[in-house]
């Protein structure tokens, strides 16, 4: 869709990347780290000062104690963290419960490692996890449940009841929870992010992945981290050592310094909430149906009052015809489940969001 948008000069609200610069304080910190000579290999698990800052941050936010030496590893983005975790922990024949729609890298990683994806569908417009179905689909071969909150593409968040149910369902099992929390700081309307780390029994069986790219508008840096109990992290690092070994040193040094100011990440939700509200206020009076995003920087719009066309066809057609690119939500389902929903990324400059909403309102 991004290629199509570029070719046709369309406004690109398709691919999820911020359309504004990073904080100059952060780019200055990277330049300084380079000038100060931090240009050689970092230690395999990451620069220690960064892991220490992350440990402190998680203690403050979620009340959990993670040992920076043994339970936190810096990765080349969340995607690598997810792939490496799945490779380290999934063996041929293991079942992995996945929820559809899902971010696209989960299932291929499971399959490449001989695992069996067990799909559970979340349906528009609420995308709630049907926990009774989860319970029914757990078997002695279930090795992992992969959750994502805030959720891409549904823009929903799991609540306390969801986490308690997950905790209860996995109690007395050997199931590992792999929790994708890359949008942990982008939760709206006063809700708090329900990390698996807030729940001690869940924390003891979970690995959670995070991404600096989402939090600091720097998706192109491909920098993230994974956190969890030492017994899992030891296995994770065995694979990490021979695939990535270690990640970009000056960026890690800069992030360690930048994280010393918590407002750099604790205020990001209001920045994005304003953008969501701006986008939706300019859509008022349009023919779409929607539920305001509860988290992430994506907004789903249901176009069924406008057209009954397939979402993939329609997304392409609107890119050419109206100059606005989006992502059809069906591509996030293993079986292309079209529910007449498109995903729009609102991590863009205000002017562009208003322009995009005006176009959508006229359709
Ligand atoms: N998980 C989700 C839910 C995402 O939306 C993304 C990025 N689009 C990632 C993981 C990957 O993050 P990274 O760019 O740090 O690899």
Whether 207 and 279 map to the same domain: the answer is no
Q: Which of 260, 289, 314 is the last residue of a domain?
A: 260
Residue 321: which CATH number? 3.90.1150.10
Q: Does residue 61 have a pLDDT over 90?
A: yes
For a mutational test of ligand 1's pocket, the pick from 211, 224, 297, 331, i.e. the residue with the most ligand atoms closer than 8 A to its C-beta, is 211
Task: State in Å: Cα 347 to ligand 1 middle.
Answer: 14
Phi then psi for residue 54, to 5 deg, are -70, -35
Predicted pLDDT of residue 176 = 98
Task: State in Å: Cα 183 to ligand 1 middle.
Answer: 9
Q: Which of 260, 290, 324 is the last residue of a domain?
A: 260
Whether 230 and 358 map to the same domain: the answer is no
Averaged pLDDT of the chain: 97
Instruction: Please state, in angstroms and rounded to a whole number, the distance separating the CA atoms of residues 60 and 169.
Output: 27
Task: State in Å: Cα 29 to ligand 1 middle.
Answer: 24
Per-residue pLDDT reduced to its tens digit, 303-350: 999 999 999 999 999 999 999 999 999 999 998 899 999 999 999 999
202 by Cβ neighbours in 10 Å (0-12 / 13-18 / 19+) ranks as buried
Task: State in Å: Cα 271 to ligand 1 middle.
Answer: 19
Q: What integer is the mean pLDDT of 265-273? A: 97
Whether 39 and 116 map to the same domain: the answer is yes
CA atoms within 13 A on the CB side of 71: 21
Task: State in Å: Cα 104 to ligand 1 middle.
Answer: 9
For a mutational test of ligand 1's pocket, the pick from 73, 79, 127, i.e. the residue with the most ligand atoms closer than 8 A to its C-beta, is 79
37: tokens are 């000579």
Is residue 5 a contact partner of residue 201, using CB atoms and an 8 Å limit? no
Q: Does residue 53 have a pLDDT over 90?
A: yes
For a mutational test of ligand 1's pocket, the pick from 74, 78, 102, 153, i.e. the residue with the most ligand atoms closer than 8 A to its C-beta, is 78
Predicted pLDDT of residue 336 = 83
Q: What is the pTM of this model?
A: 0.98
Instruction: Please state, in angstroms and rounded to a whole number, the distance separating the CA atoms of residues 50 and 40.
Output: 16
Predicted pLDDT of residue 181 = 98
What is the count of structural domains for the chain? 2
Burial 207-227 (b: 16+ CB within 10 A, else e): bbbbbbbbbbbbbebbbbbbb
Ligand 1 residue neighbourhood (C-beta within 6 Å): 16, 77-79, 103, 148, 152, 180, 182, 211, 213, 219, 222, 224
Whether 34 and 132 map to the same domain: the answer is yes
Domain that holds residue 201: 24-260
- Tell which atom from ligand 1 comes closest to the C-alpha of 152: 3
Predicted pLDDT of residue 123 = 85
Task: State in Å: Cα 217 to ligand 1 middle.
Answer: 12
CB under 8 Å to 52, separation ≥6 — which residues? Answer: 68, 256
Predicted pLDDT of residue 162 = 98
Task: State in Å: Cα 319 to ligand 1 middle.
Answer: 24
Helix (H) or strand (E) holding 3: helix 2-7
For a mutational test of ligand 1's pocket, the pick from 76, 103, 184, 208, i.e. the residue with the most ligand atoms closer than 8 A to its C-beta, is 103
Q: Does residue 47 have a pLDDT over 90?
A: yes
Predicted pLDDT of residue 75 = 98
CA atoms within 13 A on the CB side of 32: 12
Q: What integer is the mean pLDDT of 165-190? A: 98
Predicted pLDDT of residue 2 = 87
Bridge partners (DSSP) of residue 74 are 225
Whether 190 and 74 map to the same domain: the answer is yes
Q: Does residue 152 have a pLDDT over 90?
A: yes
Per-residue pLDDT reduced to its tens digit, 200-255: 999 999 999 999 999 999 999 999 999 999 999 999 999 999 999 999 999 999 99
Whether 244 and 144 map to the same domain: the answer is yes
Instruction: Please state, in angstroms and rounded to a whole number, the distance separating the CA atoms of residues 46 and 249.
Output: 8
Predicted pLDDT of residue 1 = 87
Whether 153 and 197 map to the same domain: the answer is yes
Q: Which residue is closest in CA terms to ligand 1's atom 3?
A: 152
Q: Does residue 359 have a pLDDT over 90?
A: yes
Helix (H) or strand (E) holding 341: strand 341-345
Q: Quick one: what percent of the chain has pLDDT higher than 70?
A: 100
Predicted pLDDT of residue 347 = 97
Predicted pLDDT of residue 276 = 98
Q: What integer is the mean pLDDT of 298-304? A: 98
Q: What integer is the mean pLDDT of 282-299? A: 98
């Amino acid at each position: 869709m991004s290629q199509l948008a570029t070719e046709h000069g369309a406004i690109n609200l398709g691919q999820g990347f911020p359309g504004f610069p990073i904080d100059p304080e952060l780019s200055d910190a990277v330049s300084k780290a380079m000038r100060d000579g931090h240009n050689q290999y970092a230690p395999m698990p990451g620069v220690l000062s960064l892991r220490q800052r992350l440990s402190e941050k998680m203690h403050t936010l979620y009340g959990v104690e993670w040992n920076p030496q043994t339970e936190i590893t810096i990765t080349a983005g969340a995607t690598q963290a997810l792939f490496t975790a799945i490779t380290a922990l999934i063996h041929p024949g293991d079942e992995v419960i996945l929820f559809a729609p899902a971010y696209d890298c989960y299932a291929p990683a499971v399959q490449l490692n001989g695992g069996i994806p067990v799909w559970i569908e979340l349906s528009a417009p609420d995308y709630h996890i049907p926990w009774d179905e989860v319970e029914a689909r757990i078997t002695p071969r279930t090795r992992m449940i992969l959750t994502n909150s805030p959720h891409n593409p549904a823009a929903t968040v799991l609540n306390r009841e969801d986490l308690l149910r997950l905790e209860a369902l996995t109690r007395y099992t050997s199931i590992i929870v792999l929790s994708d929390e890359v949008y942990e700081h982008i939760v709206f309307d006063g809700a708090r992010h329900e990390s698996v780390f807030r729940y001690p029994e869940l924390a003891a069986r979970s690995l959670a992945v995070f991404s600096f790219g989402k939090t600091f508008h720097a998706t192109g840096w491909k920098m993230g981290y994974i956190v969890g109990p030492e017994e899992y992290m030891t296995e994770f690092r065995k694979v990490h050592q021979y695939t990535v070994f270690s990640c970009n040193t000056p960026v890690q040094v800069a992030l360690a310094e930048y994280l010393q100011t918590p407002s750099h990440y604790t205020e990001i939700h209001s920045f994005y909430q304003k953008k969501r509200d701006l986008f939706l206020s300019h859509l008022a009076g349009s023919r779409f149906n929607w539920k305001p995003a509860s988290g992430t920087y994506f907004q789903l719009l249901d176009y069924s009052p406008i057209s009954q066309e397939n979402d993939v066809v329609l997304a392409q057609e609107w890119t050419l015809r109206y100059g606005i690119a989006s992502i059809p939500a069906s591509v996030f389902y293993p079986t292309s489940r079209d529910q007449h929903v498109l995903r729009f990324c609102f991590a863009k400059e205000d002017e562009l969001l208003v322009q995009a909403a005006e176009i959508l309102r006229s359709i």
